[in-house]
Amino acid sequence: MIAELGLFALWLAAALALLQSVVGLASWRAAETPLATLVKPVAVVQGLLCLISFFSLMWLFYVTDLSVLLVASNSHLDKPMIFKIAGTWGNHEGSMLLWVTILTMCGAAIALFEKRLDKETLSATLFAQALISLGFFAFLLFSSNPFERLNPAPPVGAGLNPLLQDIGLAFHPPTLYVGYVGLSVAFSFALGALLTGKIGPAFARAMRPWVLLSWIFLTIGIAAGSYWAYYELGWGGWWFWDPVENASLMPWLAATALLHSVAVLAVRDALRAWTIMLALVAFAMSMAGTFLVRSGILTSVHAFAVDPERGAFILGLLVIYVGGALALFALRIGSVREGKQFALLSREGGIVANNIFLSVILAIVLVGTLWPLAAEAMGDQISVGPPYFNRATVPIGLLLMIALAVGPMLRWRTDDGARLRRLIVPAATAVILCILLFVQWPEAGFFPILALALAAGLAVASLLPLVGRNMLRIPLMTWGMVLAHFGLAVSIAGMATESGWSSERLAAMRVGDEAKIAGWTVKLDMVKPVAGDNWVAIEGRMAVQRGDDKEQMKPQARQFFDPVQQTSEAALLTRWDGQLYAVIAPVDAQNYDRWQVRLWWKPFVTLIWYGAGLIALGGLLALIGRAQLFPRRRSSTAESEWARA
């Protein structure tokens, strides 16, 4: 019953999307038509229906209704409750439903909250948003129906991949999806503005909070995913340049560039065409990512479904939307007048440099991600891994850091370079640190040393916009920028120390053996069997010691039953100067007197995620700073109205 309700709500929402596209088109063409009053309610109701549909599916997972195919093939009666619920989006159909739900919620949010955009552009935007929804409704209903029944119902269910049974995974996909799909708003805004031709500061100010919001979610989602991979996979790495990771990184790069260029458009009315282009590219990257992940074309723990029909469907949608958007761009951009001029040495110039470096990194990641597919089409099987990505992106990333230190010091429009003298302090910090590091740890490698030194310089430089100003008068948005830039420096420092200064030790240990790593002594005290709800494991008890600092670590090698699979649960010990990371595994199935133990000492690795947190927090401050400008104005009119009454 609930399944049918969910499906019905989905069909109804799809019908409303069709209605919204017609009404949106009509009211954009003639703003005075009575239909125009319909477009907003339709968008809101459509979002609500999708929400009902999504909660129906969640309910089915909650009660483990095994007569529904999706639940039966992805859930299990014995699974812990939180993972039963999170299992709603731990599979292809469910995660696509979540995708569409967020998409329509974005449409509803535009209808409810967008007050700054002019009526015409708003109608055109909702028209575009409805067109996107339609395609993905079709995809869900015709090739990925989450509510399909199974007859007869099986007794227990097939279970969820144990790697996905993790609390981090319960929240990582929804967060990332909000970011991913939130970019559809920027896309629709850009299309709307292209249709009406009203591209200017007002448009940019309206678009900016939406971009900021999805960018914050993307940042958090990527950081959370990276930490999950770090502790759950037990491989000791935090970024693998896996195609799915790249699929989330590419929209982030585009959104970061967009975030900066939209600021130029809002403040200075320059970079019109470029900003529109970036808005189109950002969501195109989201859809490309969805295609890569959902088509099963890639090897990945994320690729739930291997189904060529679905892949072809998403590819078709991708081609239609991106092709259509680019065609519209080509047709209309000639009529968009060029924005205001600026000198090369100016804040705008700095942001252009930022945009170019980010785009170059984006292009490199895109080429590396798609190349294996292209090569396979030509008959070669190749894989493109970390060596390629590191080699091609790291140098550009370092250039980006330099641009990032300089940009905020420049004035809008034109700059005489006088304030650049202040950069002597961070530059000196970087150079001196670089020399010291090379003398002390030449074995750490060229790029880690350079990156760490530049990160230190950038950390200092990012604070310079605050120097010499009244701290209380600095706008929240400036604090946001400073915090985000400082966070990037922190994050890069963590990446640099992790890649240059980590130590690793691999040993086969008997109970009672000791291993030494980076000042720590690790003693394997005992190995004992333990059991959980749906798994059994061997657990190592390790006494670890560094000076007076004593602690116990308990890594596990788990065996899950349904589906049968082994995972290793790494043990992590966090100290201010880094993390000790331990993994245990049987030497082989017959031999239980020795255990393979893999240890890493990763200095300051946590800075990577703390930095990402600061970046997101900076974004949040900027968003609040923007929002503050409005309630104040609104409440003053409300006050005057109240006074009149």
Partner 1 sequence: MKPKHQRLVLALVALVALVGAGLLAASALREEASYFYTPATLAKAEVAPGQAIRLGGMVQPGSIKRDADGVTVRFVVQDRDAVQNVVYRGITPDLFVEGSGVVADGRLANDGVFKAESLLAKHDENYVPRELKDIDMTAAEHTKDSLAQ
> Which of 267, 273, 328, 433 touches partner 1 by CB under 8 A?
273
Work out which of 328, 360, 511, 536 binds partner 1, going by CB under 8 A: 360
Applying CB under 8 A, which of residues 4, 148, 338, 533 lies at the interface with partner 1? 338
Helix (H, G, I), strand (E, B) or coil at 404: helix
Rounded CA gap, 104 and 454, in Å? 43
Q: What residue type is assigned to position 92 of the chain?
A: H
Q: Does 637 bind partner 1 (CB under 8 A)?
A: no
Q: Which stretch binds partner 1 (CB under 8 A): 106-114, 337-345, 476-484, 628-636?
A: 337-345
If DSSP codes are grouped into helix, strand and coil, which group holds residue 42? helix
- Indicate the residue among 77 and 301 with the shorter CB distance to partner 1: 301
Determine the distance from the C-alpha atom of residue 96 to the mean position of all C-alpha atoms in its chain, rounded to a whole number: 16
Residue with tokens 């678009």: 207
Q: Is 367 in the site for partner 1 (CB under 8 A)?
A: yes
Out of 385, 417, 529, 532, point to the residue binding partner 1 (CB under 8 A): 385
| DSSP character at residue 45 | H
Nearer to partner 1, 236 or 611 (CB): 236
Report whether the peptide linkage leading into residue 586 is cis, meaning its omega lies within 30 degrees of zero.
no
Residues 117-176 that bind partner 1 (CB under 8 A): 154, 158, 161
Nearer to partner 1, 114 or 242 (CB): 242
Binding residues with partner 1: total (CB under 8 A): 60
Distances from the Cα of 146 to the Cα of 1, 88, 197, 548, angstroms: 14, 10, 40, 56
Q: Is 583 in the site for partner 1 (CB under 8 A)?
A: yes
Residue 412 as a binder of partner 1 (CB under 8 A): the answer is no
Q: Which of 138, 267, 315, 585 binds partner 1 (CB under 8 A)?
A: 585
Any contact of residue 566 with partner 1 (CB under 8 A)?
yes
Scored b (16 or more CB within 10 A) or e, 400-415 reads: bbbbbbbbbbbebbeb
Q: Is 564 in the site for partner 1 (CB under 8 A)?
A: yes
**Residue 263 beta carbon to partner 1: minimum distance, rounded to whole angstroms:** 16
Tokens of 112: 């409810």
Q: Which residues pair with 552 in a beta bridge?
A: 543
Q: Please report how close the Cβ of residue 518 comes to partner 1 at its closest, in angstroms.
A: 19
DSSP string for residues in 628-644: HHHHHHHHHHHHHHHHH
For partner 1, give the closer residue by CB, 306 or 320: 306
Residue with tokens 């812990």: 80
Please give the backbone phi and psi of residue 518, each rounded to the nearest 5 degrees, phi first: 45, 50
Contact status: 341 vs partner 1 (CB under 8 A): yes
Judged by CB under 8 A, does residue 532 bind partner 1?
no
Whichever of 143 and 565 has its CB closer to partner 1, that residue is: 565
Under the criterion CB under 8 A, does residue 335 sit at the interface with partner 1? no
Smallest distance, Å, CB 508 to partner 1?
2
359 sits near partner 1 (criterion: CB under 8 A): yes
Scanning 117-125, 390-398, 403-411, 480-488 for contacts with partner 1 by CB under 8 A, the matching segment is 390-398
- The correct pick among 219, 499, 567, 579 for binding partner 1 (CB under 8 A) is 567
Q: How far apart are CA 586 and CA 593, in angstroms?
A: 9
Q: Which stretch binds partner 1 (CB under 8 A): 198-206, 301-309, 519-527, 533-541?
A: 301-309
What is the crossing angle of helices 308-332 and 167-196, to 10°?
30
Give the span between the Cα atoms of 275 and 427, in whole angstroms: 31
Task: Using CB under 8 A, pick the residue from 443, 548, 588, 641 that binds partner 1.
Answer: 588
Q: Which class for 596: exposed (0-12), middle (13-18), buried (19 or more C-beta within 10 A)?
A: middle
Q: How far apart are CA 455 and CA 462, in angstroms?
A: 10
| 3-state DSSP assignment of residue 149 | strand
Of the pair 444, 584, the CB lying nearest partner 1 is at 584
Residue-wise DSSP of 438-495: HHH-GGG-HHHHHHHHHHHHHHHHHHGGGTTS-GGGS-HHHHHHHHHHHHHHHHHHHH
What mask of x and - would describe binding to partner 1 in positions 220 to 259, judged by CB under 8 A? Answer: --------------x-------------------------
267, 328, 345, 392: which one contacts partner 1 (CB under 8 A)?
A: 392
By the rule CB under 8 A, 543 interacts with partner 1: no
How many Cβ atoms from other residues are within 10 Å of residue 387's Cβ?
9
- Pick the piece of the chain touching partner 1 (CB under 8 A) from 81-89, 221-229, 269-277, 435-443: 269-277
Q: In angstroms, what is the minimal distance from the CB of 50 to partner 1?
A: 27
Closest by CA to 568, choosing from 163, 241, 27, 207, is: 163
From 181-189, 303-311, 445-453, 572-580, give the range in contact with partner 1 by CB under 8 A.
303-311
User: Is residue 274 a contact residue for partner 1 (CB under 8 A)?
Assistant: yes
Handedness of CA 123, 124, 130, 133 (dihedral sign): negative
Stretch that binds partner 1, among 22-30, 248-256, 323-331, 368-376 (CB under 8 A): 368-376
Which positions from 484 to 523 touch partner 1 by CB under 8 A, shown as an x/- string?
Answer: ----------------------xxx---------------
What is residue 542's three-state secondary structure? strand
Look up residue 88 and give its amino acid: T
Residue in 30, 81, 112, 301 binding partner 1, rule: CB under 8 A: 301
DSSP state of 409: G
Residue 478 makes contact with partner 1 by CB under 8 A: no
Name 444's Cβ contacts closer than 8 Å, sequence gap at least 6.
437, 500, 501
Nearer to partner 1, 336 or 425 (CB): 336
Q: CA 35 to CA 31: how far, in whole Å?
A: 9
Rg from Cα positions in the chain: 26
424 near partner 1, judged by CB under 8 A: no
77 binds partner 1 (CB under 8 A): no
Question: Is residue 70 within 8 Å of residue 3, measured between CB atoms?
Answer: no
Contact residues toward partner 1 (CB under 8 A) are 72-73, 154, 158, 161, 234, 271, 273-274, 298-301, 303-304, 306, 338, 341-342, 352, 356, 359-361, 363-364, 367-368, 371-372, 375, 380-385, 387-388, 391-392, 396, 506-508, 563-568, 583, 585, 587-589, 591, 594, 596, 598
